[in-house]
């Protein structure tokens, strides 16, 4: 084995990003590393490239244990990385980029001719016919990507990590890139390929390793897998008993209708969809990353304006043109990116809980401090938020507790329709179970909830109805006994099936 | 109690400065009553510090939203020119004040729109008015120093009420009124929330756009008050020099007040104390009798010392040093006990 990783563990406050992960990379193979957001892919890569220091475990390269402490150290050891956002300098020439940091010099000055020759030699065998004297910005993203690979290979030359290299390429460019990658594989490099595009994984890779919640799920030969199995691995299957205790009994119920979205859509975000929400109902939204899950939620909460259709409740049409309008209509939204869009880090737990309530009342009518404290104390106790007190800045709390504060912010508003985007992402098992229990509690009191989740177990545990999203389209609606891992996975995987078939 | 603890570093700095100046100029703290008004170096500081103090109030709010307002110095020139022009045109005191304040509001609306709606970075957005503002002021004064004689207007520069100089009163009342407004209403918390995380605040339903515009308008209003004081003081509008570089002093006052340029938690009291500290340095250097060419260098040195002493890094080191010393002492005591046994 070229690269061997044994029980790699990395802990961040409140969460185990990597939990005893094993990973093997042979020379001359392309090895896909898969998993949803927060599964631990980036953490694994960062431990390999020296951006993070591992807590435990062994990384061995050619049989010798290595502990790179920076990307340049990793490069010297032979581990090179190319990121989705090419980290080259577009305002320098191709040659300058390729030789950056080790320019050939003559009498202390950069030797331009030698630089050019060196750059041309580095690009040999990549099938590029370009002028290395021109600025990098003159070339397409695909060519820049290949130049970045050439640079990484020349600098390191044993292990090449490609992190979402095809995200901004079109189909032909992807083919060119794949030819280059195959060429490198045949030269004996070990290549780690990270991508969300499953088709590309099947086309290019020899083996697949799937991570979920910081743990390795499996490593298998790509040829032995099919799409359904792969998605099952990524989204999880068996629900750990400690999480919820028992799965929901899935009986399709007739509920009074609370809201209805009709022909609701936005070009480039999500195709128009129809959706009704019952009182006290838990709706699940399943689908792979980038399938249109979050986009649907953002549309419903007014973060992006709908191009078609509208929403109504019993009393008529609803204005959902902005988050403020959506909140006025009784909506709430706990976003996926907790740190960027959820918490206000420097403010206290108390202020974070009171924020939405205060925003609704307007600046001139402050929520009295005593009332804020009462709310904070109430939810700290009810949701078991681990904090030194209501005045602790929320930024100091662990991820799971921050999430609970964001939930408390919305529960304090008592919305009728609450959207939770990945409510349990990156939080530990205990808090995970508490949040699922909380969802069941508040819906029992009549609140309706839409849960977006990458974890099928979670959806099966709490949802009364599951909407499956694929390619920015709502493709299936599952109710009652249909809600099983198998049906959901099949609906996500099956390309070309229409709604009627998939929902059977 | 917590409010007092927040401004302790600024109070200590001010006390140390006063002690330092008194060392060179023993009469520094002396206040006399002359013709029914209080006279002395302290009163002079309170009066001369008014423009920067007023600017610092608005600047604190802008900086709390993670912004900055470079245009307040030129807004002073514009509003001063508008005040002087309206007085000479015979609009009367009320009309002149109203027009000057309106000019300040317009300046704030301009900045706020650029920042909050068009999305230009605050330092660039306000640079536009900073550059063009003196030109606008010159257009108003038609390129000359526009003088007037109007006792009502002059009151805001050199008048006094109950023995206290009018600029000092205006400054103090503005600071107290704005601080109370921020803390008695929810504005303070909402501004801090937008400053820390605009996206999250907007998702929670905070009207971040309107709030951002509002803080720039508040800054423009404070600049208008400062412009009125400056114009009234010299009984004329000098488009080229009124408020020149004062935006930098105002930012410095906010920073000395311990407010983070990255937005979030803010204290108006601390910023106002920062403005007082700056004015005390300015006046103190003059009173201490240094030749005037030394002023700027000494001021820079003092500001550097103040900022270094207040830096959180230093506080951390200081804390670590004390801990280490304490640990050493305890170990020494333990060894002493063991050897004693």
Question: Cβ distance A125 to A106 under 8 Å?
Answer: no
Nearest-neighbour CA in chain B from A334: distance (Å):
9
Task: Please tell me the predicted confidence (pLDDT) of residue A329.
Answer: 94
Phi and psi torsions of B96, nearest 5°: -65, -45
Flag whether A125 is in a domain: no
Please report which residue ranges of A257-305 form alpha helices under DSSP H.
Answer: 293-300
* A442-459: average pLDDT: 89
Task: Please tell me the predicted confidence (pLDDT) of residue B340.
Answer: 58
CB contact under 8 A, B203 and A335: yes
Q: Which residues of A touch B211 (CB under 8 A)?
A: 363
CB contact under 8 A, B189 and A345: no
Residues A367, A497 within the same domain: no
Residues A16, A161 within the same domain: yes
User: Distance (Å, rounded) from C-alpha B253 to C-alpha B264?
Assistant: 17
Residues A16, A60 within the same domain: yes
Among the listed residues A355, A133, A440, the one whose alpha carbon sits nearest the alpha carbon of residue B199: A355
CB contact under 8 A, B197 and A344: yes
Q: Which of A383, A406, A429 is the last residue of a domain?
A: A406
Phi and psi torsions of A326, nearest 5°: -65, -40
- Closest residue on chain B to A341 (Cα): B200
Q: Which of A346, A395, A402, A413 to mutate to test the interface with B (most CBs of B within 10 A)?
A: A346
Nearest CB partner across the interface for B190, out of A301, A335, A358: A358
Lay out the sheet containing A64-65: strands in order across: A15-25, A3-12, A56-61, A64-65
Exposed (0-12), middle (13-18) or buried (19+): which is B5, by Cβ within 10 Å? exposed
Q: How far is CA B99 from CA B83, B86, B96, B106, B110, in A?
A: 7, 8, 5, 10, 16
Flag whether A113 is in a domain: no
Residues A196, A311 within the same domain: no
Question: Cβ distance A194 to A23 under 8 Å?
Answer: no
Flag whether A200 is in a domain: yes
Flag whether A282 is in a domain: yes
Which of the pair, A191 or B296, is modelled with greater confidence?
Answer: A191
Residues A77, A158 within the same domain: yes
In chain B, % of residues over pLDDT 90: 68
Task: Please tell me the predicted confidence (pLDDT) of residue B333.
Answer: 76
User: Distance (Å, rounded) from C-alpha A86 to C-alpha A259?
Assistant: 44
Nearest-neighbour CA in chain A from B262: distance (Å):
11
Residues A258, A400 within the same domain: no
CB contact under 8 A, B203 and A341: yes
Question: Cβ distance A309 to A264 under 8 Å?
Answer: yes
- Closest residue on chain A to B189 (Cα): A351
Nearest-neighbour CA in chain A from B160: distance (Å):
34
Residues A263, A353 within the same domain: no
Q: Look up the pTM and report it.
A: 0.77
CB contact under 8 A, A359 and B189: no
Q: Which residues of A207-243 are buried (b: 16+ CB within 10 A; e: fewer)?
A: bbbbbbbbebbeeeebeebebebbbbbbbbeebeeeb
Phi and psi torsions of A334, nearest 5°: -100, 105
Q: Which residues of A touch B207 (CB under 8 A)?
A: 324, 359
Which residues of A lie inside 8 Å of B (Cβ-Cβ)? 301, 303, 323-324, 327, 333, 335, 340-347, 351, 354-356, 358-367, 409
Residue length, chain A? 504
- Is the pLDDT score of A271 beyond 70? yes
Nearest-neighbour CA in chain B from A360: distance (Å):
7
User: Distance (Å, rounded) from C-alpha A343 to C-alpha B199?
Assistant: 10
Task: Please tell me the predicted confidence (pLDDT) of residue A253.
Answer: 66
Q: Which of A190, A225, A260 is the last residue of a domain?
A: A225
Q: Which residues of A touch B265 (CB under 8 A)?
A: 346
CB contact under 8 A, B185 and A363: yes
Q: Which residues of B touch A366 (CB under 8 A)?
A: 184-186, 189
Residues A443, A496 within the same domain: yes
pLDDT band with cut points at 50, 70 and 90 for residue A290:
confident
Domain harbouring A199, CATH code: 3.40.50.300
User: Distance (Å, rounded) from C-alpha B95 to C-alpha B40?
Assistant: 34
User: Distance (Å, rounded) from C-alpha A353 to C-alpha A148?
Assistant: 46
pLDDT digits (tens, 9 = 90+) for B123-154: 999 999 999 999 999 999 998 899 998 999 99
Q: Which residues of B touch A360 (CB under 8 A)?
A: 205
Is any Cβ of chain A less than 8 angstroms from the Cβ of B295? no
Tell me how far apart the 2 most distant CA atoms of chain B are, in Å: 93
Domains: count for chain A? 3
pLDDT digits (tens, 9 = 90+) for B98-126: 999 999 999 999 999 999 999 999 999 99
* A176-186: average pLDDT: 90
Nearest-neighbour CA in chain A from B195: distance (Å):
9
- Does the domain at B25-295 match CATH 1.10.287? Answer given as no
CB contact under 8 A, B186 and A409: no
Among the listed residues A342, A265, A334, the one whose alpha carbon sits nearest the alpha carbon of residue A300: A265
User: Distance (Å, rounded) from C-alpha A43 to C-alpha A51?
Assistant: 9
Q: Which tokens belong to A191?
A: 């290549």
User: Distance (Å, rounded) from C-alpha A477 to C-alpha A470?
Assistant: 12
ipTM here? 0.85
User: Distance (Å, rounded) from C-alpha A482 to C-alpha A465?
Assistant: 9
Is any Cβ of chain A less than 8 angstroms from the Cβ of B185? yes
pLDDT digits (tens, 9 = 90+) for B12-44: 999 999 999 999 898 888 888 888 888 899 999
Task: Please tell me the predicted confidence (pLDDT) of residue A470.
Answer: 87
pLDDT band with cut points at 50, 70 and 90 for residue A428:
low
Q: Which residues of A touch B199 (CB under 8 A)?
A: 340-341
CB contact under 8 A, A341 and B187: no
Residues A276, A210 within the same domain: no
Task: Please tell me the predicted confidence (pLDDT) of residue A426.
Answer: 66
Crossing angle of the two packed helices A141-155 and A112-123, in degrees rounded to 10:
100
CB contact under 8 A, A327 and B200: no
DSSP β-bridge partners for residue A282: A449
Flag whether A123 is in a domain: no
In chain A, % of residues over pLDDT 90: 40
* B210-223: average pLDDT: 97
pLDDT digits (tens, 9 = 90+) for A215-264: 899 999 999 988 888 888 887 754 444 444 445 555 556 788 899 999 99
Size of interface A-B (CB pairs under 8 A): 77
Q: Which residues of A touch B184 (CB under 8 A)?
A: 366
Q: Which residues of B touch A327 (CB under 8 A)?
A: 205
Which of the pair, A124 or A326, is modelled with greater confidence?
Answer: A326
Task: Please tell me the predicted confidence (pLDDT) of residue B336.
Answer: 72
- Is the pLDDT score of B341 beyond 70? no
User: Distance (Å, rounded) from C-alpha B294 to C-alpha B219?
Assistant: 32
- Closest residue on chain A to B260 (Cα): A346
* Sign of the torsion angle spanned by Cα atoms A397, A398, A401, A403: positive
Task: Please tell me the predicted confidence (pLDDT) of residue A39.
Answer: 80
- Closest residue on chain B to A359 (Cα): B206
| Domain housing A422 | 248-330+415-502
- Closest residue on chain A to B192 (Cα): A347
Task: Please tell me the predicted confidence (pLDDT) of residue A425.
Answer: 75
DSSP string, B47-93: HHTHHHHHHHHHHHHHHHTT---TTHHHHHHHHHHHHHHHHHTT-HH
Residues A172, A264 within the same domain: no
Average pLDDT, rounded, for chain A: 86
Residues A323, A371 within the same domain: no
pLDDT band with cut points at 50, 70 and 90 for residue B86:
very high
- Closest residue on chain B to A409 (Cα): B204
Flag whether A165 is in a domain: yes
Q: Parse chain B into domains and list their residue ranges.
A: 25-295
- Is the pLDDT score of A380 beyond 50? yes
* Sign of the torsion angle spanned by Cα atoms A169, A174, A178, A179: negative
Residues A52, A172 within the same domain: yes
In chain B, % of residues over pLDDT 70: 98
Please tell me the number of Cα atoms within 13 Å of B136 on its side-chain side. Answer: 20
């Amino acid at each position: 084995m070229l690269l061997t990783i044994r029980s790699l563990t990395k802990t961040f406050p409140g969460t185990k990003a990597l939990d005893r992960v094993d990973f093997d990379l042979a020379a001359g193979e392309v090895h896909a590393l898969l998993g949803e957001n927060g599964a631990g892919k980036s953490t694994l890569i960062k431990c390999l490239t020296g951006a993070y220091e591992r807590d435990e475990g062994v990384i061995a390269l050619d049989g010798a244990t290595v502990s790179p402490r920076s990307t340049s150290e990793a490069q010297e050891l032979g581990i090179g990385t190319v990121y989705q956002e090419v980290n080259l300098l577009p305002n320098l020439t191709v040659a300058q980029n390729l030789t950056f940091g080790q320019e050939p010099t003559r009498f202390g000055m950069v030797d331009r001719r030698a630089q050019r020759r060196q750059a041309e030699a580095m690009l040999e065998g990549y099938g590029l016919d370009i002028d290395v004297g021109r600025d990098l910005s003159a070339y397409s993203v695909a060519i820049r990507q290949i130049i970045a690979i050439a640079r990484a290979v020349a600098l390191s030359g044993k292990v090449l990590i490609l992190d979402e290299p095809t995200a901004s390429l079109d189909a032909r460019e992807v083919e060119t890139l794949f030819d280059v990658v195959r060429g490198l594989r045949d030269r004996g490099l070990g290549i780690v390929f990270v991508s969300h595009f499953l088709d590309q994984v099947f086309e290019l890779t020899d083996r697949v390793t799937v991570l979920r919640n910081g743990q390795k799920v499996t490593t298998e030969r790509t040829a032995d897998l099919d799409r359904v199995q792969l998605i099952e691995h990524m989204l999880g299957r068996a629900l750990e008993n400690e999480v919820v205790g028992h799965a929901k009994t899935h009986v399709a119920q007739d509920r009074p209708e609370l809201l209805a979205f009709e022909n609701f859509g936005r070009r480039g975000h999500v195709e128009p969809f129809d959706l009704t929400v019952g009182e006290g109902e838990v709706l699940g939204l399943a689908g792979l990353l980038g399938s249109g899950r979050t986009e649907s939620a953002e549309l419903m909460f007014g973060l992006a304006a709908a191009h078609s259709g509208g929403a109504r409740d019993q009393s008529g049409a609803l204005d959902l043109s902005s988050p403020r309008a959506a909140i006025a209509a009784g909506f709430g939204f706990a976003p996926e990116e907790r740190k960027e869009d959820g918490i206000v880090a420097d403010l206290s737990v108390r202020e974070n809980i009171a924020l939405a309530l205060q925003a609704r009342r307007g600046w001139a009518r402050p929520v009295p401090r005593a009332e804020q404290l009462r709310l904070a104390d109430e939810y700290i106790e009810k949701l078991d938020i681990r904090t030194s007190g209501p005045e602790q800045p929320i930024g100091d709390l662990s991820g799971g507790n921050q999430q609970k504060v964001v939930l408390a912010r919305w529960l304090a508003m008592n919305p009728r329709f609450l959207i939770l985007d990945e409510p349990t992402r990156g939080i530990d098992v205990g808090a995970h179970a508490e949040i699922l229990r909380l969802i069941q509690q508040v819906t029992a009191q009549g609140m309706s909830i839409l849960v977006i989740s990458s974890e099928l177990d979670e959806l099966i545990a709490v949802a009364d109805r599951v909407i499956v999203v694929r390619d920015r389209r709502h493709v299936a609606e599952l109710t009652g006994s249909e809600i099983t891992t198998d049906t959901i996975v099949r609906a996500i995987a099956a390309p070309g099936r229409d709604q009627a078939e998939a929902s059977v | 109690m917590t409010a007092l603890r927040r401004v302790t570093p600024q109070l200590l700095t001010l006390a140390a400065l006063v002690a330092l100046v008194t060392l060179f100029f023993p009469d520094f703290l002396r206040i006399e009553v002359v013709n029914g008004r209080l006279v002395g170096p302290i009163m002079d500081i309170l009066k001369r510090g008014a423009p920067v103090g007023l600017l610092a109030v608005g600047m604190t709010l802008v900086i709390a939203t993670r912004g900055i307002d470079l245009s307040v110095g030129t807004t002073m020139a514009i509003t001063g020119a508008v005040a002087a022009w309206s007085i000479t045109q015979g609009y009367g005191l009320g009309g002149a004040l109203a027009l000057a304040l309106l000019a300040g509001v317009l300046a704030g609306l301009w900045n706020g729109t650029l920042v909050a709606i068009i999305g230009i970075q605050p330092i660039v957005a306000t640079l536009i008015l900073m550059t063009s503002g003196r030109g606008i002021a010159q257009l108003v004064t038609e390129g000359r120093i526009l003088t007037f004689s109007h006792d009502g207007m002059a009151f805001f520069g050199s008048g006094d009420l109950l023995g206290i100089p009018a600029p000092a009163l205006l400054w103090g009342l503005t600071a107290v009124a704005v601080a109370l407004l921020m803390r008695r209403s929810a504005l303070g918390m909402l501004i801090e929330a937008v400053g820390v995380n605009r996206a999250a605040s907007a998702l929670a339903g905070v009207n971040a756009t309107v709030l951002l515009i509002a803080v720039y308008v508040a800054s423009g209003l404070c600049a208008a008050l400062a412009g009125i004081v400056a114009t009234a003081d010299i009984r004329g509008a000098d488009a080229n020099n009124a408020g020149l570089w004062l935006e930098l002093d105002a930012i410095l006052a906010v920073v000395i007040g311990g407010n983070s340029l990255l937005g979030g938690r803010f204290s108006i009291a601390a910023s106002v104390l920062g403005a007082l500290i700056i004015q005390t340095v300015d006046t103190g250097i003059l009173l201490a009798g240094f030749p005037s060419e030394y002023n700027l260098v000494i001021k820079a040195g003092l500001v550097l010392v103040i900022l270094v002493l207040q830096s959180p890094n230093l506080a951390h080191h200081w804390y670590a040093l004390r801990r280490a010393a304490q640990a050493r002492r305890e170990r020494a005591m333990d060894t002493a006990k063991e050897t004693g046994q």
